Amino acid sequence: MTRCVLVQPIDASGVALLEGAGVQVVQAPDTALPVLAPLLGGADAVITRNWGFPAAAMDLAPRLRVIGSHGTGVDRIDLPAARARGIRVVNTPGANAPDVAELALGLMLALARQIGAADAAVRAGDAGWRLRSRGLALRGQCLGLWGWGHVARALAPMAQGLGMRVVVLSAHADPAELAALGLARAQDAADLLAQADVLSLHGVPGARPSLGADQLAALRPGALVVNTARGALVDEDALVLALQSGQLGGAALDVTVTEPLPMDSPLLSCPNLILTPHIGGSTDRALAATAQAVARAVLEALG
């Protein structure tokens, strides 16, 4: 019988699709390689989430034909190793995009209105906090979208609904489409950074972070940064320095370079920083849609 190992849990509706097609589904209790080893030995397919799938895991799975990514990102999967072994990698672009966009919007609002600090003030009995603090009205501000994928496309009209001006940086976006949607197109990264009051990242990681020390310094003083895409897009050390110096007004990260975040990370003690544990697609609707999408993709790849 064809076997699919779930490296990390997925919604029951995705499991039902696999089992309905005659696939034996095995849930791994842990991502430690010694735990995975006896399960992967007979695996024809695996489904993973933010853990990815390293070459060392592929070495444990001689029958492996397909790796399914529960989500858009495949950067934590060792793609060269998969290609060398003839293993197909499939993902689910766009399945959870509206939900990730909602989180990005929520993080923007939480930063702009200092919701976390306000909550802490109430709990501490600091009645004077509201007299000392001023939030940022997003209405009339510029949202810079670095990338024009599914999530950015969903976020743009949400921001417009708040009265924000939206500027997009993308080499692939159709200028006519952007104009029809009432969006501006940035000429280059410098142009985007010079305009953005709020910067939301939606790109694909490259050899080095898109947002490093030079890019952070080019942002307007007090700008806000939101990353719900990939942790590798941000130079975390440079971000810490920009927040500590007050150059940035705040930042929110749903993704980090290392997940879960190590307890000795300087991000944990950084001022004006909101951290969430990669929950952009963690709604009932999104989890079901993504699980079903990855199950269908795996079944198609298995033939």
CA distance 209 to 230: 10
CA distance 151 to 92: 13
CA 135, 123, 250, 110 torsion-angle sign: negative
Length of the chain: 303
Q: Would residue 236 show up in a list of annotated catalytic residues for this protein?
A: no
Q: Would residue 172 show up in a list of annotated catalytic residues for this protein?
A: no
Q: Would residue 3 show up in a list of annotated catalytic residues for this protein?
A: no
CA distance 110 to 96: 21
For strands 88-90 and 66-69, give the pairing. Answer: parallel
Q: Which of 259, 285, 296, 300 is catalytic?
A: 259
Residue 266's nearest CA partner among 233, 246, 236, 242 is: 236
CB atoms within 10 A of CB 63: 12
**Complete DSSP assignment for 137-206:** --TTPEEEEE--SHHHHHHHHHHHHTT-EEEEE-SSS-HHHHHHTT-EE-SSHHHHHHH-SEEEE-----
CB atoms within 10 A of CB 38: 10
For strands 142-146 and 165-169, give the pairing. Answer: parallel
Q: Which of 65, 153, 230, 236 is catalytic?
A: 230
Q: Which pair of structure tokens corresponds to residue 279?
A: 């929950």
CB atoms within 10 A of CB 155: 26
Catalogue the active-site residues: 230, 259, 278
